[in-house]
Structure 1
């Protein structure tokens, strides 16, 4: 019978995260050098979920040692490794290579230093709410759905939980803190799903700063609360 979501996550959840990191990237890992995709996975996971690395190493190695047969794959009882551009006969060795690199990183404490995201997966893993905002409100359909960019921002704020909006503001400031060139900010916006240009006369970073300021202020329907009791600055 097909795997339940719980069983899938228990047996293959972190393996799936590793494989997703290869979307649009080459699976060109060698015993001496991890690929760009794996370095991106290691960098992000070390700095956000370091405990998950040991899970990934174990799941990769177990899958490589006990690959599913065609029948079990067809029945949905095993995780099907997506096409990464390698011949079927090389997949097991490649998975072992990934497990070896992750295990070495853990044992030696080799942590990739913080850096600008290098892959599509890493951009979305690092800035998930910003990707939701840009891809959902600033796709190529935006001009048909909203009068202008300000209207799209206002709609996001009106329809999104305040806690997610706060998360978006934090991601906006984190992106601005990377201090990229404007051309690189434009590429970052495209990677994160934006399919229209920022409004004139703003540069990409200028528009991001503008949005962060607007969304970071109090909502009109939620004015700041006055302090009850004690010293409140009034006589």
Structure 2
């Protein structure tokens, strides 16, 4: 019987978060140095869910010490680690290496300093609503569906729960507070799913600032004629 969502999360939920951090990244961790992917996971998790690190360390070790057999994998009773580019015989050693790095980080209090996201996973983990907004509303089909960028923003605001609009606005201000160069902001919006250019004459950061302002501007209300 396949794992229920509750059982999956109880046994493998945080392990799955660690593995997801390696999407598009090499699993090139060594005993002396964590990979870019693991560093991104540590940075984000330390600053958002520090208690989850101990769970990740435990789940990684348990999986490494008790890997699933083929029958249980076929029945869906175990979490199947996606292909991370390592030979099957190296997976157990690699999982122990990840657990060791996480344990060291917790026990020694070695926290990656705040920085701009370094991986695709970290961009979306840190700015989830921005990823939903840019990836869902500014795809390459946007010019066929809306008159311009402002029309998209207005449609998003009108059709989205105000709490999510407020969350997006906060994320945009946080993104701008990173004070990146314009080429880095162009990379950031692309990582977060935007498939069209910012409208002229704005730079990527300039358009993000204008978007944040438009999302918080008072809405026009029209009462009955007097």
TM-score normalised by the shorter chain: which range applies? Answer: over 0.9
Please give the residue correspondences for 1:205-216 in structure 2 after superposition, counting only pairs within 5 Å. 205-216=205-216
Q: CA RMSD in A?
A: 1.0
C-alpha distance in structure 2 between counterparts of 1:146 and 1:218, whole Å: 22
Partner SS state of residue 102, structure 2 = helix
Corresponding residue for residue 154 of structure 1 = 154
Partner of 2:131: 131
Query: Normalising to structure 1: TM-score of the pair?
Result: 0.93
Residue 174 (structure 1) aligns with: 174
CA distance in structure 2 between the aligned counterparts of 1:132 and 1:146, rounded to whole angstroms: 18
Task: For residue 154 of structure 1, give the secondary structure of its aligned residue in structure 2.
Answer: helix
CA distance in 2, matches of 1:196, 1:102: 38
Aligned match of 2:224: none
- Structure 1 unaligned segments of length 5 or more: list them: 222-235
Match of 1:145 in 2: 145
Q: Could you tell me which runs of 5 or more consecutive residues in structure 2 were left unpaired when the two chains were aligned.
A: 222-226
Per-residue deviation, 1:145 = 1.2
Structure 1 ranges of 4+ moved more than 4 A: none
TM-score, L = length of structure 2 = 0.97
Give the aligned partner of residue 202 of structure 1: 202
Cross-structure match for 1:95: 95
Residue 14 of structure 2 corresponds to residue 14 of structure 1: yes
In the other structure, the counterpart of 1:227 is none
Q: How many aligned residue pairs are there? A: 222
Q: Deviations over 1:13-50 (max 9, x none)?
A: 00000000000000000111100000000000000000
**Deviations, residues 179-230 of structure 1 (Å, cap 9, x unaligned):** 1111110000000000000001111111000000111233346xxxxxxxxx
Separation (CA, whole Å) in 1 of partners of 2:219 and 2:121:
32
Q: 2:144 and 2:3 mapped to 1: Cα distance? A: 41
Match of 2:75 in 1: 75
